[in-house]
A = this chain, B = another copy of it.
């Protein structure tokens, strides 16, 4: 078996023991709360890891895009939620084709979008389950909680659709600078969505799924009475942002980037062969601060260009040309999307090389 230190760099390495522990822990959180776990597979994009999540008790997977769902259904997954308001030429027809092959649900957040989604299903005499996206404070997509009952009633009446439930995502937890702030966002996420579901039921439509999300907020949101499902993604790997948010520790980070020092042009500067093409340009959350953690070092990666990671060498540290380093990236989900393969390592040996099957699926 190839040793980690023999991999050509840069290379994405997944520590299998940490991955397995992360999967088991989140499964326990969901089980203890009596809620289903439907992990967001965008973080890994690998059927192999999705199967580990299902084996640990996950009820199905969440994905963001139609093309990602196609890859996972091709790989044999049979219960998929496309947690995104799918709109656009050809997409409803592609979802109709997927509906033949799995238990499928899709997000909606507008009557116009839902109508277009339902049309080919109605024409085919079929019914697609939809979940209404509710904005619990991120202010990205989703209807305001106070508008949800009215819109849900209109969507529930559209041909070709059945309202399965509501969902939300507390992405604003990533901007909270204290664990107390994260917990507060998480608790509000669960309570807001459960209350919104109750108001929709009062207005008429039934709501069987009440689905919350996000790795930092999951453990807080999942406890709210009425929440039925949780969709965290990043927890399988964690990353420097989760460490900064104190959602996990550095020991909980399953993903590292193996890189080589290619240049030491000055005493206070060293350059590795991992730049934004390897690590992405995503900033550290909740506060910007370098481009990943160098394992076992205090020096920081101060700036990136496409193929260069420029290290500000800390006083007392030294790097040499040809030396190898490990980097915990700021944001693991986007790293996966930049690579064709990830290397699953145990005790320093590469046990498997997994193709990132849903990489680049933007449609």
Contacting pair B42 A306 (CB below 8 A): yes
A281 touches B281 (CB 8 A): yes
Interface hit among A181-189, A203-211, A337-345? A337-345
Query: Complex Cα distance A90/B273, Å?
Result: 14
A99 at interface by CB-CB < 8 Å? no
State how many residues of chain A have any CB contact under 8 Å with chain B. Answer: 67
Q: Considering only CB atoms, which chain B residue lies closest to A262 in the complex?
A: B87
Evaluate contact between B89 and A6: CB separation under 8 angstroms.
yes
Q: Which residue of B lies closest to A141 (CB)?
A: B263
Judge if A305 is at the interface, Cβ distance under 8 Å. Answer: yes
A238 interface residue (CB < 8 Å to B): no
Given contacts A9-B88, A113-B321, A360-B338, contact A143 B306 (CB under 8 A): no
A135 neighbours in B (Cβ, 8 Å): 265
**Which of A7, A110, A266, A333: most chain B Cβ within 10 A?**
A110
The oligomer's copy count stands at 2
Q: Does A171 contact B (CB under 8 A)?
A: yes
Residues of B within 8 A of A124 (CB): none
Give the distance to chain B from A85, nearest Cβ to Cβ, in Å.
5
- Among A106-152, those with CB < 8 Å from B are 109-110, 112-113, 116, 135, 139-144
Q: Which of B7, B85, B306, B337 contacts A262 (CB 8 A)?
A: B85
Majority SS of interface residues in chain A?
loop
Contact of A116 among B65, B112, B140, B322 (CB under 8 A): B322
The interface residues of chain B lying within 8 Å CB-to-CB of A7 are 89
A321–B112 CB distance below 8 A: yes
Contact across chains for A265 and B89 when beta carbons are under 8 A apart: no
Chain B residues with Cβ under 8 A from A91's Cβ?
Answer: 8
A56 close to chain B: CB less than 8 A: no
A113 touches B322 (CB 8 A): yes
Which residue on chain B has the smallest CB distance to residue A363?
Answer: B8
Partner of A334, one of B269, B276, B360: B276
A86 located at the interface, meaning its Cβ lies under 8 Å from any Cβ of chain B in the complex:
yes
Give A67-108 as 1s and 0s: 1 = Cβ < 8 Å from B's Cβ atoms: 000000000000000001111111100000000000000000
Question: Which of B110, B265, B322, B333 is in CB contact (< 8 Å) with A87?
Answer: B322
A47 close to chain B: CB less than 8 A: no
- B334–A265 touching, CB < 8 Å: no
> How distant is the Cα of A9 from the Cα of B363 in the complex, in angstroms?
6
Within 8 A of B (CB), among A328-361: 333-334, 337-340, 359-360
**A227-264 to B contact mask, C-beta < 8 Å, 1/0:** 00000000000000000000000000000000011111
Interface residues of A (CB under 8 A from B): 5-11, 42, 64-65, 84-91, 109-110, 112-113, 116, 135, 139-144, 171, 260-266, 269, 271, 273-274, 276-278, 280-283, 305-308, 310, 320-322, 333-334, 337-340, 359-360, 362-363
Query: 7 A-B pairs, CB-CB below 8 angstroms?
Result: A87-B273, A112-B321, A141-B308, A277-B337, A277-B362, A280-B280, A339-B360
